[in-house]
Structure 1
Amino acid sequence: MGVFRWGRGERRDGRAAPRDTAFEFFSATEGALFRRSVREAFAEHGLEVTLYAEHAVDDTGREFGLNNLAASCHHDERGVRLWPQLVRRHISVLLRTLDGPSALETMAPEQLLGRVYPRVVESALVERGPFDYARQLTPGLSEVLALDLPESVMLLNDEALDPLGGAAALRAQAVRNLRELPVEGHEAVDQGDGQRFHVVMGDSFFTASRVLLLDELVQRVTGRPLGPDGALVAMPFRHQLVFHPIEDIHVIPSLGGMARYAAAGHEDAVGPVSPHIYWWRGGLLTQLSEMAEGTVTVTVGVDLQQVLERLAQEADREG
């Protein structure tokens, strides 16, 4: 893949260099620099940490995952010279959030209600904690509630819900807030070989969560309502949502194109959600793709197969 090129002529190690054992997008040298920056950033706050491949543990036993921070450094186009600064800022915000008073204690209830959103996350993220209220959307993906704070996003556990009105009322408010988010960026992709899909992107941590209101988002972005056959959809990472309304025969080439796009977007992403493509119909998600040894495969069930055959027959009649 050649040498990574960065601003002001700065270069990353080429792909031929030995790779980091945990973060393949780093060379071994870059991985060592990254972890040294992490250790030094914690030390500036008086914390000694034990560094493992993908996380750090302080002397009180607190565990800090490094995946998103590593991906942030990897994608920062300013290059390795600014990694220590990026790491230092991230660790400072993280510790300030953990060690400071909780927003649940310092903010008025009406302020909190204006900041609550539903968030779609990997189910593994909430299966380890007290999130009994979490709603499974499809195997591997769950919906939880989160607070969008000035410096961080805080997932709300079971204990936090009752003081704010309970799960049902709080989710209703969260969905209203999600509905009011602006569409920050949109691109219609046409590959020229029949592959067509839309990419919605934004700085909001809840961009991918707009899949919960996909029919409304499609209407807003395309100006057309979503038809009864639904849409293909993907949420590679938290800042991106990809969709293709199922209307005609273009859905067939778009299946493979979107599946590859989702898998590539998920790889090395900050805030990964899912590498898969899904069929959205009537608010329900059905997973269509799988990843095995770097290869993406797409499998459609009986219901979607019937839709595809009908659209192919309609195309034949019109052709």
Structure 2
Amino acid sequence: MNHDDALAAPATPDPALPMLTVAQAVRLRALAAPYCEDGRSYSLHNLAQQCRHAPEDRWPALVEAHFAALREGSRGGESAEELLRGVHARLLPTDSIGPELAGALRYARVVADGLVFAYGLDMPTSVRILTDADVERAGLEELGRAAYANVMRVPVEHEEVPVEGGALLHSVYGDSPFIASKALFLSEAARQITGEALPDAGALVVMPQRNLLAYHPIADGSVVDAVNGLAAYAFGAHEDGPGALSPRVYWWHKGALTSLTVIDPDTRTFSLRPPPELLSLMKGLVRLDGAGRLATSTTAEAPDTAQLTRTTTESITRLTQEPAGLGDAFASALTLAHSHCAADPQLAHIDTWDAWATAVQLGSALFTGAQAQKCRLGEDIEPQLPAIAAEPPADARAWLDAFYLALACRRQDRADRLCQVPLEALRQDDSVDAYVLHWIDTLQTYWSQQPMDDVVQKLLATMETSMPETVTHAPMDFVNQIDYQPIALFHRLIARDHDTFNETLAEAVAHHGAYWGDSAAPRAQVALGPLAMASLAYDYGFPVPLKQPHLPTYLLNRERIEELPG
């Protein structure tokens, strides 16, 4: 290598202080050496971050100021009252706790990979980490309550940051070195900052610097984009420093932090590996969100039914050349059927019926095959559904949609064929919780007129597996307000309890409305599962009230039922 090549070669980062070159790190250690003659070991990580952004002729002053702050912060001797007044919960990098300091912080604990929880005393120009002696003087329980209250009072700035793919990050920042510590109490912090509690699934969160955190509530399919967005956000902010805390992405769930980031110490490379529970949840959310089943804080715009009609027509027409597109065609037809009910909630018009009828045709064809037949989506719109072989996909929720449609539209023949779909085929769907498959098993057993004892046992299994401690793929608000409602109605249906059925139906409709709020999303228009159960009850002679929101009257009372091709 010649002299010019050596000048052009990139500087080698220091292994322990990678924000500096090897030569810069040697100089910083030399500047710090006189301050370390007391035999104690000090982390130079934050000091190196400061020096990285400053001209080297300013380094001596930065080093002097850094160790002066450390001396001030290590004096101690405060009264118990002073400790309680100034104590805050504090997150620290694990590598900032040397052997000597660890011996004086036996109360501190590792809360997640890369993070230690301790108590910090807020002082005029520095923060002192409290020792075991301080904790004993003030009392552990009293310090815990005061540290929580004080850290929650720390003022912050809040900004919403969109990332590629549509995910939204909440960036929380300010001047205080305790802002990142709010991640320990993220649910309450989120409520204070945005006025909204976190979902049951929690949130993804990063704390790259002590005065910065960013989080994304785990509520819909955008969680996949949020993971990557947060990883890039954390890495960049952690490298910028000073006050670097952790470059990792964490999952905050039920008060605990779990790292998603795996760091290879030899190559210093990062990878994201969500734990199995979170991976299952993400898979379920993506599937639910993609099918338009999730209500989010953003109110969906009312869909354009004319455009949806064209899209559905085109998707049916393409099936002759692309039969694998049947699942998408069914999803499009079902979206169109729901969307029509925004302007025609009682399903009084023929165009609305045509959309529902087409959804019935495509839903049953998806799972049981079909002979060639016309679909009707308007007076002059009659796309041809080609002959379809029976190849049921591993899509349990699509099967439920198809079955609910067959019941609501009184197509017993199609319901019969759907109940012959092997449960083993649907069990291949790894995006749903066990209760969904137990529910399908219950419906197939009942519809096939098997012994009622078998039906009851399978219904009990459905109920037991829909409890919060067993659900891992779907948000609990969706499970409780949407998915469970037809199950509760079926329970009253087979008990032939007319009064309780109607009370449960009113509750189901209310839950549907509460879940969707003022959303204009297609699924918000009709409570499909409760409609199917109410249609069964009506046909069994239950005195079902016909005028209820989200239950189209002319489907429920059979007045809008017309013939379909076989």
TM over 0.5: yes
Work out the CA distance in 1 between the residues paired with 2:141 and 2:248: 29
Alpha-carbon displacement from aligned partner over 1:137-172 (angstroms, at most 9, x marks no partner): 2344332112111122111122221221x1111111
2:40 partner letter: R
Answer yes or no: is 1:225 the counterpart of 2:204: no
- The question of whether the paired residues in 2 share the 8 Å contact of 1:289 and 1:298 is answered with yes
1:23 partner letter: L
Asked which structure has the greater RCO (Cα within 8 Å, sep 6+), the reply is 1
Query: Which structure has the larger Rg over C-alpha atoms?
Result: 2
Match of residue 46, structure 2, among 68, 89, 98:
68
- The question of whether the paired residues in 1 share the 8 Å contact of 2:163 and 2:226 is answered with no
Structure 1 residues 35 and 133: CA distance shift in structure 2, 3 A = closer
SS at match of 2:208: coil
Q: How does 1:275-314 map to 2 (within 5 A)?
A: 275-292=247-264, 293-314=267-288
1:298 partner letter: L
Q: How does 1:191-230 map to 2 (within 5 A)?
A: 191-230=163-202
Alpha-carbon displacement from aligned partner over 1:40-99 (angstroms, at most 9, x marks no partner): xxxxxxxxx3xxxxxx631x42333322111112134xx33432322232233334445x
Deviates more, 1:301-310 or 1:19-28: 19-28
SS at match of 2:241: coil
Partner of 1:46: none
Match of residue 138, structure 1, among 88, 112, 125:
112
Q: How does 1:1-319 map to 2 (within 5 A)?
A: 16-17=10-11, 19-20=13-14, 22-27=16-21, 30-31=24-25, 33-35=27-29, 37-38=31-32, 49=34, 57-58=36-37, 60-76=38-54, 79-98=55-74, 102-104=75-77, 107-124=78-95, 125=97, 128-164=102-138, 166-183=139-156, 185-267=157-239, 269-292=241-264, 293-318=267-292
User: How big is the shift at 1:290?
Assistant: 1.1
Structure 1 residues 284 and 35: CA distance shift in structure 2, 3 A = closer
Work out the CA distance in 1 between the residues paired with 2:50 and 2:146: 31
TM-score of the two chains, using structure 2 as the length reference: 0.46
- The question of whether the paired residues in 1 share the 8 Å contact of 2:208 and 2:247 is answered with yes
User: How big is the shift at 1:18?
Assistant: 5.3
User: How big is the shift at 1:22?
Assistant: 4.5
Structure 1 residues 260 and 61: CA distance shift in structure 2, 3 A = same
Work out the CA distance in 2 between the residues paired with 1:269 and 1:15: 25
Work out the CA distance in 2 between the residues paired with 1:234 and 1:14: 36
SS at match of 2:103: coil
User: How big is the shift at 1:247?
Assistant: 1.2
Work out the CA distance in 1 between the residues paired with 2:9 and 2:127: 34
SS at match of 2:236: helix
Structure 1 residues 37 and 138: CA distance shift in structure 2, 3 A = closer
User: How big is the shift at 1:274?
Assistant: 2.1
Work out the CA distance in 2 between the residues paired with 1:123 and 1:35: 21
User: How big is the shift at 1:33?
Assistant: 4.9
SS at match of 2:36: strand
Structure 1 residues 162 and 242: CA distance shift in structure 2, 3 A = same
SS at match of 2:181: helix
Query: For structure 2, which runs of at least 5 residues remain unmatched after alignment?
Result: 1-6, 293-334, 336-566
Structure 1 residues 304 and 142: CA distance shift in structure 2, 3 A = same
1:80 partner letter: E
Structure 1 residues 277 and 195: CA distance shift in structure 2, 3 A = same
Quick check: which one's strand share is greater?
A: 1
% identity of equivalent residues: 33
- The question of whether the paired residues in 2 share the 8 Å contact of 1:263 and 1:296 is answered with no
2:235 partner letter: A
1:171 partner letter: G
- The question of whether the paired residues in 1 share the 8 Å contact of 2:169 and 2:216 is answered with yes
Work out the CA distance in 2 between the residues paired with 1:240 and 1:190: 17
Partner of 2:546: none
Deviates more, 1:260-269 or 1:16-25: 16-25
Partner of 2:455: none
Root mean square deviation of aligned Cα:
2.7
TM-score of the two chains, using structure 1 as the length reference: 0.78
